[in-house]
Chains A and B, each alone.
Chain A
Amino acid sequence: MNPSLAAKILQAGRDSGADFVELFEEETRSSVLTYKDKGVESANAGTDFGVGVRLLFGTEVLYAYTSDDSEESLLRLVRQLGFGREKFGSGSGKSGIIQAPSQPRLVSDLWSHMKDPRVLGQGHKLDFLKLGDSVARACSDRITQVSVSIIDAVSAIEIINSEGLAVRDERARTRFHLGVTAGQGNERISASEAPGFGGGYEVLDHLDVTALAKRAAERALRILEAPYIEGGQMPVVMGNGFGGVIFHEACGHPLETESVRRKASPFCGKIGEKIAHESVTAIDDGTMSGLWGSLSVDDEGLPVQRTVLIENGILKTFLSDRVGAMEVGVPRSGSGRRESYKYSPVSRMRNTFIAQGKDSLEDMIASVEDGLYAGKMGGGSVNPATGEFNFAVEEGYRIRKGKLAETVRGATLIGKGHEILPRISMVGTDFETAAGMCGATSGSIPVTVGQPSLKVDKILVGGRS
């Protein structure tokens, strides 16, 4: 956005009495190619474009967005937002002259090494998709369907605020998804692999499509033959990588200031207290190069950081955005995120994981008399206000007398996050990460979850009696 137009919008916001005004402009170019049913099912591309304007009156947030970036449209929205604010009133009501914005400063360096999806086009994806399809189908004639897709997005954003910040960021993400359906008689089972990365098509150069396709197909075939688990309370060893989704959902969300400021977290007021077993150290790190949830700056323009949330079981801090930091009284952590210009930013996770421990997976399994090894987790969700969570186990194995036994299906883990943390008694050495999409107040954003294998002494496993 041209700085003089930005200055007019920011000044109009301040003239309405706002303490702080921010502009977020985004243009995202995305494309997806999907190969299914032994052919290209669809080819699609799109351009998302718009501007978001945020006014803060104290910690009261007023947000507007539009796809129309004309001066007339933006000024009208700002004036509508600010009109009559004193009636609801947390704002200072003091007008002020903004610091004139400079030309936005570029904070990322994508182009030195990126294979630009916009230049290479959809055709670059085709061989990867065909390979995934053929490898998965070759695993068994019981593979009834394979769907392989690659989605990429390249975003140019500008963030300009009334405090003089003016940054420009360029972000690229690419994700491979392979879904397999295995069938036998009338029965159908699906399994998938979906690695995602920060970057353009160069990330595909290192992608082991053959291994991913085999892994998904073989898992679907194993589950197809597996019996249902008999449910009940039992010790659970959670697999590495996507097993971290449990920490993300059950503990990560309640550690965001967006939950804490609404007093909707069991961790309110517990900084400095022991909230987990001493073997647990948990980190949210937005700086890890090439990961799906990494950023140069957050969506408020602040450089991202490595934030230690729990250290040896002690709660150290929360993940915070500007408003959350003000309300909760913690430093900003560069965690203000949003799906697009259509959302006001709030505190969100980036790459969240439980740090590597000292135990081997073999020792964890050997320590369980009768339990479950949740090798591959499915998705899940949590209510931060009550702590109640639920997660599907995509592939599990019974553990009997310290040894892995039969594959089981249909397991669901349910409980409360703050009650599970103290029950993590062993943390492994096999740390891994996995990509996912996280949905919350400010939309659906790319995040990484991660953990080494770990043992929870007791958790309710749903199944069939």
Chain B
Amino acid sequence: MTLKQTSGSESVQAALELLQDEAKKSAASDFDIVARQSSSLSLSVFQGKVQQTEISESVGIGIRVFANGAPGYASTERLTPESLRQTLKDALSHCAFTAPLRGLVLPGPTVLPAMPSQWNAGLETLGLEEMARITLALEAETFARSKEIENVPHLGFGLSMDRGWFANSKGVRHFEQENSYGLGIGAVALRNEIRKMGIYQKSGRDYTEADPKLMSAIAVERALELLDAKPIPGGEMPVVFSNRVSSSIISMFLSSFHAESVQKGQSRLAGQLGQAIASPLLRLVSDPFRFDLPGASVMDAEGVATQRHEIIRDGVLQTFLHNLETAGREGRASTGNAARGYSGRVGTSFHNCVVLPGEHTEQELLQMFPRCLHVVKLEGSSGCSAISGEISIGIQGFLVEGGKRVQAVDGVTISTNFFDMIKRIAAMSNDYNDSFSSIKVPAFAVESMAVSG
């Protein structure tokens, strides 16, 4: 069993054509349609056996219609003519509830830059048997590395294929497809009745780069290094966020840069365009042309050509991210950052959110301070709010003195506000972690932060 590029897209394309034809004949003045076909293969391994195998094929199609300028949405996973007609009817009925969107004009066809293929034919030949072999080897390598590895409760290999179609009433047609793999492991180490989990995931388009020996070494090291952790006394101290967690902490606050949040009073950045909101070291970019990352695209979810935007340059806020709706409200052009799944309304998203690297290594960041906290693990996200900017979160990591680890740390929390924190960034490292992610943030150091233990 493998995932082939050519299988089963005819029904989605036929559904798109039918929905489009029906919408043209309807009371809708304009419309746009997104359709998606996804397939996947995955398996998980536990104690030397494949525990679960999964195969999936799913489709969905969603339409946004406008009647007298007011939008209405509906979607379906049933691609029968009856269901598609009902979906159109539902969407039209919703226009009666919503207010007209000022200044929103759907785009017409435009010349787009060429986009390198996001499809690796090599993944088409990867089957469940080979996936099982690699995953079982990873488990065996992991147990062999340390007698303190008690359990590997999380171990899985997945392949996915996604194809997306876009069409609107102005004649825009677009198609993108991608495939990728992901191999992940969570290993638990036990010492003196204390358990710690080490997690490592490798994903991307080329599965041959996933080396079970290297992956097991990293997961085991991450589990063992925190086994003797203990709290430290509370107080204010410098904090260095490892590139293992730097993307996570930044990603929780990205909606503050969406024009919709600003316009609706849910971003603390309102009224601060052109002002210094962060350390001059911070450069934050929405980059759809980083074709090595999964957020790459030449067209957004409303048919607008994408662009690279520097959101924060040298600490100064340059722009917010717009879709057609938020741009229309301000009488400006969209930044091409519309996002939409087939079942949801149009929102906003970074394409790839990239914080540009600094000049120092992560180790050099640790050496900047006589004493600092090196954070390598965040415990959840529930103490963080993009609206208030609050960060109050459990962490695990190391107390570092003179650039050297002196104690593993757990049972502590950090507390700050995101908008204060980005003003106090003292250094940015020059290296990202190796994840295949649409959010890339290097390690960074913050001058001072409240730590409770």
| B360 on the A face (CB < 8 A) | no
Q: In the complex, are the beta carbons of A46 and B345 less than 8 A apart?
A: no
Q: In the complex, are the beta carbons of A81 and B387 less than 8 A apart?
A: no
- What is the 8 Å Cβ interface bit string for chain A, positions 360-394, against chain B (1 contact, 0 not)? 00000000000000000011110101111111100
| A148 on the B face (CB < 8 A) | no
Number of A-B contacts (CB under 8 A): 251
Q: In the complex, are the beta carbons of A462 and B394 less than 8 A apart?
A: yes
Residues in chain B near residue A190, CB distance under 8 A: 266, 385, 387-388
Residues in chain A near residue B153, CB distance under 8 A: 259, 262-264, 385
| B210 on the A face (CB < 8 A) | no
Residues in chain A near residue B186, CB distance under 8 A: 385
Q: In the complex, are the beta carbons of A36 and B379 less than 8 A apart?
A: no
| B165 on the A face (CB < 8 A) | no
Please tell me which stretch of A3-11, A59-67, A167-175, A208-216 contacts chain B, meaning at least 4 of its Cβ atoms lie within 8 angstroms of it: A59-67
B interface bracket (residues with beta carbon within 8 Å of A):
35 or more
Residues in chain B near residue A186, CB distance under 8 A: 268
| B439 on the A face (CB < 8 A) | no
Q: Given B51, B74, B379, B385, which contacts A46 in the complex, CB threshold below 8 Å? A: B74
A interface bracket (residues with beta carbon within 8 Å of B):
35 or more
Please tell me which stretch of B87-95, B107-115, B214-222, B421-429 contacts chain A, meaning at least 4 of its Cβ atoms lie within 8 angstroms of it: B87-95
Q: In the complex, are the beta carbons of B62 and A46 less than 8 A apart?
A: yes
Q: In the complex, are the beta carbons of B87 and A383 less than 8 A apart?
A: no
Complex-state Cα separation, A465 to B453, whole angstroms: 9
Q: Which residue of B lies closest to A185 (CB)?
A: B268
| B83 on the A face (CB < 8 A) | yes
CB distance from A57 to the nearest CB of B (A): 10
Complex-state Cα separation, A208 to B213, whole angstroms: 59
- What is the 8 Å Cβ interface bit string for chain B, positions 154-189, against chain A (1 contact, 0 not)? 100000000000000000000000000000001010
Q: In the complex, are the beta carbons of B234 and A47 less than 8 A apart?
A: no
Q: Given A27, A47, A231, A378, which contacts B75 in the complex, CB threshold below 8 Å? A: A47
Q: In the complex, are the beta carbons of B264 and A65 less than 8 A apart?
A: no
Q: In the complex, are the beta carbons of A83 and B382 less than 8 A apart?
A: no
Q: In the complex, are the beta carbons of B56 and A44 less than 8 A apart?
A: no
Complex-state Cα separation, A64 to B43, whole angstroms: 12
Q: Which of B60, B86, B196, B452 has the most CB of A within 10 A?
A: B452
Q: In the complex, are the beta carbons of A386 and B49 less than 8 A apart?
A: no
CB distance from A441 to the nearest CB of B (A): 9
- What is the 8 Å Cβ interface bit string for chain A, positions 144-161, against chain B (1 contact, 0 not)? 110000000000000000
Complex-state Cα separation, A387 to B394, whole angstroms: 14
CB distance from A295 to the nearest CB of B (A): 22
| B392 on the A face (CB < 8 A) | yes
Complex-state Cα separation, A187 to B420, whole angstroms: 12
| B57 on the A face (CB < 8 A) | yes
**Contacting residues of chain A (280-325) with chain B, CB-CB under 8 angstroms:** none
Q: In the complex, are the beta carbons of B411 and A414 less than 8 A apart?
A: yes
CB distance from B105 to the nearest CB of A (A): 19
Q: In the complex, are the beta carbons of A463 and B387 less than 8 A apart?
A: no
Q: In the complex, are the beta carbons of B265 and A188 less than 8 A apart?
A: yes
Q: In the complex, are the beta carbons of B73 and A462 less than 8 A apart?
A: no
Q: In the complex, are the beta carbons of A122 and B94 less than 8 A apart?
A: yes
| B303 on the A face (CB < 8 A) | no
- What is the 8 Å Cβ interface bit string for chain A, positions 390-406, against chain B (1 contact, 0 not)? 11100000000000000
| B451 on the A face (CB < 8 A) | yes
Q: Which residue of A lies closest to B59 (CB)?
A: A67
| A45 on the B face (CB < 8 A) | yes
Q: In the complex, are the beta carbons of A231 and B379 less than 8 A apart?
A: no
Complex-state Cα separation, A373 to B153, whole angstroms: 36
Complex-state Cα separation, A342 to B54, whole angstroms: 10
Given contacts A80-B55, A392-B382, A412-B383, contact A385 B151 (CB under 8 A): yes
Q: In the complex, are the beta carbons of A412 and B392 less than 8 A apart?
A: yes
**Contacting residues of chain A (11-27) with chain B, CB-CB under 8 angstroms:** 27
Q: In the complex, are the beta carbons of A387 and B452 less than 8 A apart?
A: no
Given contacts A385-B195, A386-B197, contact A88 B50 (CB under 8 A): yes
| A39 on the B face (CB < 8 A) | yes
CB distance from A191 to the nearest CB of B (A): 10
- What is the 8 Å Cβ interface bit string for chain B, positions 245-277, against chain A (1 contact, 0 not)? 000000000000000000111111000000000
Q: In the complex, are the beta carbons of B58 and A342 less than 8 A apart?
A: yes
Q: Which residue of B lies closest to A80 (CB)?
A: B1
* 5 interchain pairs, CB-CB under 8 A: A43-B73, A67-B58, A231-B234, A390-B393, A410-B415
> A residues engaging B (CB < 8 A)?
27, 33, 36-37, 39-50, 59-68, 73, 77, 80-81, 83-84, 87-90, 121-123, 126, 144-145, 181, 183, 186-190, 228, 230-232, 259, 262-264, 342, 344, 378-381, 383, 385-392, 409-412, 414-415, 460-465
The 3 closest A-B pairs by CB, nearest first: A462-B413, A231-B452, A43-B94
